[in-house]
Each structure stands twice: as structure tokens, then as C-alpha cells.
Structure 1
Amino acid sequence: MIRSTRSRKALTASAALALSFSLAACSAANESSASADESATSEATGAVKGAGASSMEKAQNEWMAKFTDEAPDATVEYAPDGSGTGREKFINGAVDFAGSDSAMEKEELTTASEKGCTGETIQFPVYVSPIAVAYNLEGVDELNLSPQVIADIFAGKITKWNDPEIAKDNRDADLPDTKITPVNRSDESGTSKNFSAYLSEAAPKRWKHEPDDVWPVKGGEAAKGTSGVVDTIGAGEGNIGYADASQIGELTAAKITAGDDFIEYSPDAAAQVLESAERSNASSKTDYAVTLDRGNAGDGVYPVVLVSYAIACTEYDDPETASTVKAYLEYAVSEEGQKAAEEAAGSAPLSETATKNATDALGQIATE
């Protein structure tokens, strides 16, 4: 087991997480509070392992490359096995840190402390990105979809692309009489949970399933990981699915209802949905999970988003491991790290407040 007996240290991270994510949040104050400690980064040594959300794969690859450029004696591995697998590996002590598109629940946090996690478990947003509703339909280069229609498509109630419910929002499109094949994740996925949460909040009369990492509907096609979903959508005429927008490649994404209009995804539009986010457990000093209001997105707000979390422990068996985990995650939330993720994956940089909370939390990792 990577981590040892726990010793509970209280985190002194700021109690409030006022998540106001903005693409303009790269101020001088942010730089001073969010930049990774250059000395700690350059002196990091040894190998650490992480696993989790495949949606973060591009960002993690970029972070690993840039971090190890600055810390040539350190090795960081990240397996994009899916959020559920990443959390399970972390709970059991098989990896040193995890990434997840859905926050760890109270029961998971408790189990981690009982089994694999030394000290306390910390989790905080590290990556924010729009989820694209991508489709493969020849001759249809632009498509408007309401949450009600998306819900009926993925529930298997709308089965043809020229269905009147789709046609009424796409009067200029030549919609064919082609079968719709929904594509979902086959593995436990935080992207699935975020997408189904959007449907349950934005179309509660059409979508009767509780948000879950396990996709609740049978009958479409299922594929493992973000890349698997993207490949499957692209492989069949009439296919439609959901995936982190940074990874859909040449696929076309639908415009989604935002207030009184339909809008394309963008990091800026996705970030705005977090302005009304509240902490799920405001009294916790270690848990920075947030609750989004996807059902009441206003004009210009892209409501289908995922918030990915970094998960780590406050203590590790090996001080070298602790130092490298801390330095790596500090780099990820730094201004430089967030800019790297934005360029590689189209994500929205963290705000000054969110970055400070993450940095304060990481400051509790014992390195001696």
C-alpha cells in the first residue's frame, strides 16, 4: 500500500469557496497566490501515480510534460481509466492522487480514511470544461437541441432525426429519416454523472433518472472512456453522444438552449454556470465539492459542464512522494498550469478565489 497509518490533521483551507470562474482571472494577485513554488517543483524527485477521469487526459498530459520539464528528476503517471476507477484506486491506496469528474461522496471519503488514505482526503476543482453533445449526421452542419429533446433522444423516445420535436427547432435543416443511435459511456464516468445531472435539472419531466456515474439507460451503444465514445460517434451515421468538448475532434457539436437562445459551447460560456455554484458542504475544511445550477442557465450560459476534482491525502508514507504530489498539483492549479490546460484542452482557468482555496488545501500536505 502506498500510504501508511493515518494521522488526522485539520486542514486550514479557507472555509468559503466562492466559485466565480472567469477567463479573465489571471490578475497579479492571482499570480502571487496561485503560482507553483518554483523551488519545490524543480527539487521534486521520485515517481508518483495518479488515475481517473479520461476527460482530463489532455490537460493531465500537458501538466505532466510541463511539470517534468521543470522537475527532471520526478516522474508522474496518470492513467485515464475513468472517474470511478480513479476514485476506487485512490481509496484502496493503489495511486497517490486521483482525478474525478464527480466529487467523492461522504461514504467514499470515509472509506478512503479507513483503507488507503493517510490523514484526511482533500478534494477541490482543478479543471472546468464544457461537455459537447456531438453528433454524426451527413449534411447537417448546424443543429439546435433543447434539453427536453436531448433527454428524449438519450431515453430512447425520439428515434429518428426528422422527428417533429427536432424539426421545430431546426426549420432550415434538411433532416433525414435516419435512425438515431445514442452513445454513452460503458464505464463509471463522472462525465455521465454531469451529463445526466444536466438532463435531470433542465428537463425533469422528460428525464426520470438520478445522476449517476453509471449510465442508466440501455439500448444505445456503449463505449469505454472519452476516446471510445468519440470514436463510436464518428463510426456510425446518425450517432450522437456526450464527451468533454476538448476531445471531440472533427465531430460536430449541437447548440444547446441557453435562456431564450441556442449557443455553442465555449470555455467562457461554460465557466459562467459556476457563478451560482455553492459548496456542497460549506462547513467542511477539506471538501470543496460544489453544486451547480444547470437547470436555470441564463442567456449566454452554456449549461452542460463538468467540474473535475483533484483528490489527494494530507500525509504519505514517503516524504518524497508527498513532496512530488504536492508540487505537481500546485503546478496544475497555478496560473501557468491552468494556461497550459486551456491551450491543450480548451478548459476554463480557475478564478483567483478557487485557486487560493486549492493552494491552501495543498499546503496541508506534510512533506517532512
Structure 2
Amino acid sequence: MKLTRIAPLGALVAASTLVLAGCAANEASADGSGPSPTGDSSAALSGTINGIGSSAQGTAQQAWIAGIQTANPELNINYDPQGSGAGRKSFISGAADFAGSDAALSDDELAGTFAMCADGTSAIDLPVYISPIAIAYNIEGVDELKLDAATIAGIFSGTITRWDDAKIAALNEGVSLPDAAITVVHRSDDSGTTQNFTEYLAANAADVWTEEPSQTFPFAVGDAAKGTSGVAEAAKSAKNSITYIDESGAAGLSIAQLKVGDTFVKISADGAAAVVADSPLVTGRAAGDLAIAINRTDTQDGAWPLVLVSYLIACQQYQDADKGALVSSYIQYVAGDAAQQAAAAQAGSAPLSAELSAKVIAAAQTIK
């Protein structure tokens, strides 16, 4: 589906304004070889590129695509939010020109070949979207819920099965918890959100969460649904339910506070961004690959370590140079401050820091 066509009017207006601001990342050079360093608005982009991937990125992609196409009427960008795993598989096979993924390419994936990429070259991961993952719930009469990593791990692994369990009650003194079974809702598809969620539990509750981090949910517990919108609808439809979900999809559900260190923290994009800023890059990657090793045990004030970093994945060099130029321009646009602010307004994400934005733009400029 082409998300541009369903973008809300507010996103269109905000995004078109940011494009016309003249950011150098938004425009192609006069000879079509890549973005103009002067941001010359006369050098319009044209052609078509197709992306598949992260459903968490879906709302942000609406704003990004609407904005760049408003300024470039001959440009056509399609993005299908099938999920992170589907995006990476499609990119690897050549069914997509770029992928959106809430998990960076694995070492095994990088060791393989990419159908769109020129012989002898590989792919790179460029972070473009930072968002907190919500522990969202639907319990009538419970407006405030506090959970720690061990209790979350117990709920989602199936060892804590009722809302009035003593471990939940101990964290929520004074809250009237129902004498009811917990309905767990998790992702059915290969999901980067699941990868980030299970990384967090493995790092903070290893004695309860006994499985390795994975992009597929590892326990036969509760109900499964596909994509961000799927788990949101399933949780809204089921009484006494709980799910993990990118915050952009949690509207209509309540969100639990998370115990970080010795305090309970309310979800925030700023808290997610602070954790990412405190995290190093993954070592041993190719130049231009900016995969981030998220510090899942960060306890700085206000931190929200249950965070996802979502990437645009592209070739270092495309077999089709025209495709490479368009992908390069699009990623530079997306990483720019105005586009990041548009996504924050539309999806509630955290804009990239100035330092990280500059690194992503510089890396995207090397795409051929």
C-alpha cells in the first residue's frame, strides 16, 4: 500500500513545509547523481523506489513520503508496513529497494548477498526512527499500573497468569486489581519490536526470561496478531489484556509505568532518546553501518530502556545507479531535522540527535 495517499492533512502540510525549507538532503543534483549540496529546489527528484518493512515506522513513513513527494511531484515512493522481518527478506531477495527494520541486519544476513546490490558490496543499517516500546494494557477501572522487568517477563512467559497475582499486587499498593486471567497479546510475525522487547527482558530479568532474544515470540502464551495495528486491535478487543507495542500504535490503551533502577518511570520519547544517546555503535561493522548496541540496563534519570531503534536498510552500491541516487536522497531527507520533527509530531517518536542525524546523512551520501 502506498502510505502517502492516506497521510492525514496535518502531516501533509507540516511535511511539505519542511521540504520547502531547502535542506540539502532533500534534493538531487542537477545531473541526477545525488543530493545537491546547496539544496537547489530546481533539481527535482523523479522515479520510483519501493520499501517494505517495519510497521512501527508506518506512521512516520506517511509523513516522510508525503513531504518529499509534495516537493517532488515526479517522485513515487511506496512503503508497505508488512513487518521488519518481511522487510529484510524482501530487500535481500530484491523485492524491495530498501527495508525498514526495527532490528539491524544480523551477521548471518550481512554474510549473504543482496540482489539489489552491486557485486562485491553489501548493505548498511541507518537509524532513522527512535521510539519507546509501551507495555500497554486494557483493564477496566485500572488507570495506573506499575511493572518491573521480572514481572513483565513472568506475564509474557506465562508464569504469572492472573492480574491479582501477589507479584503484581506488590508493585501496585492501593490499586484494585481484578480477580481475572491475564490475556497476553504478542506479535505473530517476525518482528523487530519483539526483538527489542526480548532483548530488554533478557538483559533485565534473565532469571525469569529464559529464552534468547528473538524476532519471533518464543512462548506459546496468549493470543498472536500481526503488526503494530494487529496487536493494538487485539488488545483493545480483549478484556484484561496486555501487549508490547511501539508507542505510536498504543492510542486507546493504557500504558504501564516501568521500574528503572529504583524508581517507576512514565513512558516518554525523551527517555528513549536518552538511552540511545548513551549507547555505542555495534562494533565490527562496515564503514557507514550505524547499527546501535542499545544499553538495555540504562538507569539514568528518566531513562526508558525498553526502546526500539528502527533502521532504513540500503545497499552500499546499487546495481541500478538511479535507484541508488533516489534511496540516498530519501534517507538523507528522512534523517534531516525537519523530517524528524514531522515524524515526532505524527508518531510521537524521538527526533535523532544532531550528532546522529549528521552521521546518518553522511553515511547516506556514500550510497551509490
TM-score (norm 1): 0.87
Name structure 2 gaps, 5 residues minimum.
Answer: 1-20, 28-38
Q: How does 1:1-368 map to 2 (within 5 A)?
A: 35-37=25-27, 38-39=39-40, 43-113=44-114, 115-118=115-118, 119-281=121-283, 284-366=286-368
- Is the CA contact (8 Å cut-off) linking 1:181 and 1:239 kept in structure 2? yes
Deviations 1:274-312 (A, max 9, x none): 233111125631321111121242331111100001111
33-42 or 273-282, which moves further after superposition?
A: 33-42
Alpha-carbon spacing, 1:49–1:271, altered in 2? closer, same or farther (3 Å): same
197-206 or 276-285, which moves further after superposition?
A: 276-285
Partner of residue 10, structure 1:
none
Amino acid of the residue matched to residue 150 of structure 2?
Answer: Q
- Is the CA contact (8 Å cut-off) linking 1:270 and 1:301 kept in structure 2? yes
Alpha-carbon spacing, 1:61–1:283, altered in 2? closer, same or farther (3 Å): closer
Distance 2:298 2:360 in 1: 27
Alpha-carbon spacing, 1:32–1:258, altered in 2? closer, same or farther (3 Å): farther
CA apart distance, 1:209 = 0.9
CA apart distance, 1:134 = 0.3
Distance 1:32 1:259 in 2: 44
- Is the CA contact (8 Å cut-off) linking 1:44 and 1:320 kept in structure 2? no
Amino acid of the residue matched to residue 308 of structure 1?
Answer: S
Distance 2:236 2:171 in 1: 24
CA apart distance, 1:322 = 2.2
352-361 or 319-328, which moves further after superposition?
A: 319-328
DSSP-derived class of the 1:72 partner: coil
CA apart distance, 1:364 = 1.2
- Is the CA contact (8 Å cut-off) linking 2:202 and 2:211 kept in structure 1? yes
- Is the CA contact (8 Å cut-off) linking 2:91 and 2:98 kept in structure 1? yes
Deviations 1:115-173 (A, max 9, x none): 44223312121100000000010000000001110000001011111111011111121
CA apart distance, 1:32 = 10
DSSP-derived class of the 1:152 partner: helix
Distance 2:70 2:224 in 1: 37
Name structure 1 gaps, 5 residues minimum.
Answer: 1-30
- Is the CA contact (8 Å cut-off) linking 2:83 and 2:189 kept in structure 1? yes
Distance 1:352 1:32 in 2: 17
153-162 or 116-125, which moves further after superposition?
A: 116-125
Alpha-carbon spacing, 1:128–1:34, altered in 2? closer, same or farther (3 Å): farther
324-333 or 61-70, which moves further after superposition?
A: 324-333
- Is the CA contact (8 Å cut-off) linking 2:129 and 2:311 kept in structure 1? yes
- Is the CA contact (8 Å cut-off) linking 1:55 and 1:226 kept in structure 2? yes
> Could you tell me the percent identity over the aligned residues?
41
- Is the CA contact (8 Å cut-off) linking 2:232 and 2:249 kept in structure 1? yes
Distance 1:117 1:283 in 2: 17
- Is the CA contact (8 Å cut-off) linking 1:41 and 1:328 kept in structure 2? no
Alpha-carbon spacing, 1:116–1:110, altered in 2? closer, same or farther (3 Å): farther
Distance 1:175 1:110 in 2: 49
Deviations 1:195-241 (A, max 9, x none): 01000111111111111111101121000000000000000111100
- Is the CA contact (8 Å cut-off) linking 1:101 and 1:308 kept in structure 2? yes
Alpha-carbon spacing, 1:40–1:106, altered in 2? closer, same or farther (3 Å): farther
Amino acid of the residue matched to residue 113 of structure 2?
Answer: A
Distance 1:208 1:308 in 2: 25
**Superposed CA RMSD:** 1.8
